[in-house]
């Protein structure tokens, strides 16, 4: 049985079409791996960027709460919920208004 398998393998290996097919499969496997690695790398970079943006937004949100504490501006639960839903841009605009007006804008 092993001898027969070895003979068949030798015949297939000698066939130019079979060799080309094997080379194409090997090249496809390498290309697939490279594409997969590239996609994973892009996903990792995007994930890191999103994580950094979330951290930056959370820090700004905390600084607004601190600013309100310093200025003795009481925040209601509704206002805290609104803060939690704001984007970084909205939070930064709010921070600047509180800083200039010394009160929580309505």
Task: For the beta carbon of residue 81, count every other beta carbon within 10 angstroms.
Answer: 10
| Residue 34 in tokens | 């490279």
Length of the chain: 106
Q: d(Cα 100, Cα 95) in Å, to the nearest integer?
A: 9
**Average pLDDT estimate for 53-68:** 91
pLDDT digits (tens, 9 = 90+) for 18-35: 677 777 777 777 777 777
pLDDT per residue as tens digits for the range 75-84: 999 999 999 9
pTM of the model: 0.57
Indicate the domain borders of the chain: 2-101
Query: 12: which 2 tokens?
Result: 């297939």
């Amino acid at each position: 049985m092993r001898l027969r398998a070895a003979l068949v393998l030798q015949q297939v290996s000698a066939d130019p079409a079979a060799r080309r097919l094997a080379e194409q499969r090997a090249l496809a496997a390498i290309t697939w791996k490279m594409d997969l690695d590239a996609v994973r790398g892009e996903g990792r970079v995007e994930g890191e960027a999103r994580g950094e943006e979330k951290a930056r937004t959370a820090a700004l949100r905390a600084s607004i709460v601190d600013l309100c504490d310093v200025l003795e501006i009481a925040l209601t639960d509704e206002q805290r919920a609104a803060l939690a839903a704001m984007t970084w841009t909205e939070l930064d605009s709010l921070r600047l208004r509180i800083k200039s007006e010394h009160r929580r804008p309505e």
